């Protein structure tokens, strides 16, 4: 795709590239500017354009013509092409067609694989040989996997103490250095690494500018949803920085510009009630997302104290909203989704927990189709899911002990 990177603050266009600290013109003036990919829709090959109900997607690279790939060939592990799975229990209970876009089928079991497939490919094309990131787990594992696959050997992943052992081991298995440090100190340490020439795969600026290609890969979720069926009435996403929600919205926006769809869905952000910066910004009518200090929630990767302003833009442009949900609702969502076959981490299950408040608010109506983006697998977070699902009992190997331990009839 031929494209340029346009600053959303000053309007300056820049050549394709990494720009880890955002718009260089804004930065030189002491400001922060977010760069975004812009292209001429007339230059997109017809073969790359999704079709409603086309059923095509096998990987996200089916849409290569709509992605700003700088390399001759992508670093890929077969990411994308994830299933859209109906949730009959919640659908029947609420009278809404609830669908989970199951991103746990990606290679490292989270939707971060889409981002890193594109980002690592483009940075290899730019000559990067050292990569660093800060993560609560999923993004770090994905960065490590794709960097290793691309031949980058120098990889550092900064994780907080709260990151559980399965994720630490997964990151190490991919060959990265895993460094555990204070949750709130990781960003500053990563920024120092960037100053020393390391390339980050997450934002390092304050205020938030993000990375210019991070939104682009998430567009393919929108493309796949359209090809897997009709356009949903609403798409719910658990919010961290907001890149996933914004990228999916950008995908639907581009489909509308290409005349593939008439009306994009409403975009809905779901946050834990302990930290609701996007909810608060919307309620206040603010143009910027502020800080929302509070206890660290069960949704570790979707519970930051702030988010990017682009999340507000996506919600407002789409006529969507944002909701805060409590821990009990998230845990109930983990159980309900699991009864229909999917074990989602808290930061994924939070999206399905947002359907009920959206229905009560009137944003979603009876009979509507609602997609909940399931971003990561529950198996990575045994400690954070234990209170929702309980623990296994240990017994002596006798029938009497078995009868006493289980709630189902034996005979």
Q: Please determine, for residue 309, whether its predicted confidence score (pLDDT) is greater than 80.
A: yes
Backbone angles phi, psi at 40, to 5 degrees: -90, 115
Express as a percent the part of the chain with pLDDT over 70.
Answer: 100
**What distance lies between CA 351 and its chain's CA centroid?**
11
Backbone angle region of 180, left / alpha / beta, with phi > 0 → left and psi within -120 to 50 → alpha: beta
How many Å apart are CA 289 and CA 306, to the nearest integer? Answer: 6
**Quick one: pLDDT at residue 47?**
87
Please give the average per-residue pLDDT across 24-37, as a whole number: 95
Q: Please determine, for residue 55, whether its predicted confidence score (pLDDT) is greater than 90.
A: no
Place of tokens 């609602």: 370
Please give the average per-residue pLDDT across 358-387, as a whole number: 98
Q: Please determine, for residue 56, whether its predicted confidence score (pLDDT) is greater than 80.
A: no
- 281, 268, 296: which is closest to 354 by C-alpha? 268
337-348, pLDDT tens digit by residue? 999 999 999 999
Mean pLDDT, the chain, whole residue set: 96
Look up residue 51 and give its two tokens. 């079709």
203-237, pLDDT tens digit by residue? 999 889 999 899 999 999 999 999 999 899 999 99
- Sign of the dihedral through C-alpha 209, 135, 59, 76: positive
Please give the average per-residue pLDDT across 305-327, as a whole number: 97
How many Å apart are CA 290 and CA 153, to the nearest integer? Answer: 37
Q: Which residues contact 324 (CB under 8 A, 6 or more apart)?
A: 270, 271, 272, 273, 276, 279
How many Å apart are CA 128 and CA 48, to the nearest integer? Answer: 29
Please give the average per-residue pLDDT across 257-273, as a whole number: 97
**Quick one: pLDDT at residue 411?**
87
How many Å apart are CA 198 and CA 128, to the nearest integer? Answer: 8
**Quick one: pLDDT at residue 76?**
98
Backbone angles phi, psi at 229, to 5 degrees: 170, -150
How many Å apart are CA 199 and CA 363, to the nearest integer? Answer: 40
The three state secondary structure string of 178-242 is EEEECHHHHHHHHHHHHHCCCEECCCCCCCCCCCCCHHHHHHHHHHHHHHHCCCCCEEEEECCCC
**Quick one: pLDDT at residue 42?**
87
CB atoms within 10 A of CB 4: 16
Which run of H or E residues covers position 92?
helix 88-94
How many Å apart are CA 368 and CA 257, to the nearest integer? Answer: 24
Please give the average per-residue pLDDT across 319-327, as a whole number: 98
Please give the average per-residue pLDDT across 102-118, as a whole number: 98
**Quick one: pLDDT at residue 318?**
98
141-150, pLDDT tens digit by residue? 999 999 999 9
- Are the beta carbons of 33 and 26 closer than 8 angstroms? yes
Express as a percent the part of the chain with pLDDT over 90.
Answer: 94
**Quick one: pLDDT at residue 201?**
97
**Quick one: pLDDT at residue 38?**
97
- 122, 39, 34: which is closest to 76 by C-alpha? 122
Provide the β-strand partners of residue 131.
155, 199
**Quick one: pLDDT at residue 335?**
98
**Quick one: pLDDT at residue 125?**
93
- 248, 289, 247: which is closest to 271 by C-alpha? 289
**Quick one: pLDDT at residue 160?**
97
152-194, pLDDT tens digit by residue? 999 999 999 999 999 999 999 999 999 999 999 999 999 999 9
Q: Which domains are present in the chain?
A: 84-106+212-389 (3.40.50.1100)
Please give the average per-residue pLDDT across 384-407, as a whole number: 96
Backbone angle region of 332, left / alpha / beta, with phi > 0 → left and psi within -120 to 50 → alpha: alpha
Q: Which residues contact 362 (CB under 8 A, 6 or more apart)?
A: none
Q: Please determine, for residue 23, whether its predicted confidence score (pLDDT) is greater than 80.
A: yes
If 0-12 CB within 10 Å is exposed, 13-18 middle and 19+ buried, where does residue 262 land? exposed
Backbone angles phi, psi at 235, to 5 degrees: -125, 125
Q: Please determine, for residue 57, whether its predicted confidence score (pLDDT) is greater than 90.
A: no
């Amino acid at each position: 795709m031929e494209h340029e990177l346009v600053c959303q603050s000053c309007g300056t266009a820049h050549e394709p590239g990494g720009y880890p600290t955002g718009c260089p013109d804004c930065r030189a003036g002491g400001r922060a500017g977010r760069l975004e990919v812009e292209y001429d829709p007339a230059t997109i090959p017809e073969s790359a354009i999704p079709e409603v109900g086309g059923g095509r997607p096998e990987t996200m690279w089916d849409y290569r013509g709509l992605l700003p790939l700088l390399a001759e060939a992508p670093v890929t592990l077969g990411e994308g092409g994830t299933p859209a799975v109906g949730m009959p229990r919640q659908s029947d209970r609420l009278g809404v067609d609830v669908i989970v876009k199951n991103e746990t089928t990606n290679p490292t079991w989270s939707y971060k694989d889409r981002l890193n497939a594109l980002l690592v490919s483009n940075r290899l094309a730019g000559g990067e040989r050292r990569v660093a990131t800060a993560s609560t787990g999923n993004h770090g594992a994905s960065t490590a996997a794709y960097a290793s696959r691309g031949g980058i050997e120098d990889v550092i992943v900064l994780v907080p103490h709260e990151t559980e052992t399965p994720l630490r081991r997964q990151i190490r298995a991919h060959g990265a250095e895993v460094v555990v440090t204070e949750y709130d100190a990781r960003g500053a340490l990563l920024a120092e690494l960037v100053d020393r020439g390391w390339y980050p795969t997450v934002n390092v600026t304050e205020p938030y500018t993000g990375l210019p290609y991070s939104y682009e890969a998430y567009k393919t979720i929108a493309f796949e949803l359209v090809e897997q069926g009709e356009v949903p009435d609403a798409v719910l996403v658990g919010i961290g920085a907001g890149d996933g929600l914004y990228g999916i919205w950008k995908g639907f926006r581009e489909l509308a510009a290409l005349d593939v769809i008439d009306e994009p869905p409403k975009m809905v952000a779901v946050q834990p009630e302990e930290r609701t910066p996007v909810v608060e910004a919307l309620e206040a009518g603010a143009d910027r997302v502020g800080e929302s200090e509070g206890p660290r929630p069960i949704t570790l990767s979707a519970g930051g104290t702030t988010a990017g302003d682009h999340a507000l833009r996506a919600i407002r442009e789409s006529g969507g909203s944002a909701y805060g949900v409590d821990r009990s609702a998230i845990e109930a969502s983990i159980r309900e989704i699991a009864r229909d076959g999917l074990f989602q981490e808290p930061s994924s299950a939070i999206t399905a927990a947002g359907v009920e408040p959206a229905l009560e608010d009137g944003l979603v109506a009876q009979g509507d189709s609602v997609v909940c983006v399931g971003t990561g697998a529950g198996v990575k977070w045994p400690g954070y899911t234990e209170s929702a699902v309980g623990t296994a009992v240990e017994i002596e190997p006798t029938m009497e002990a078995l009868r006493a331990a289980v709630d189902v009839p034996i005979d």
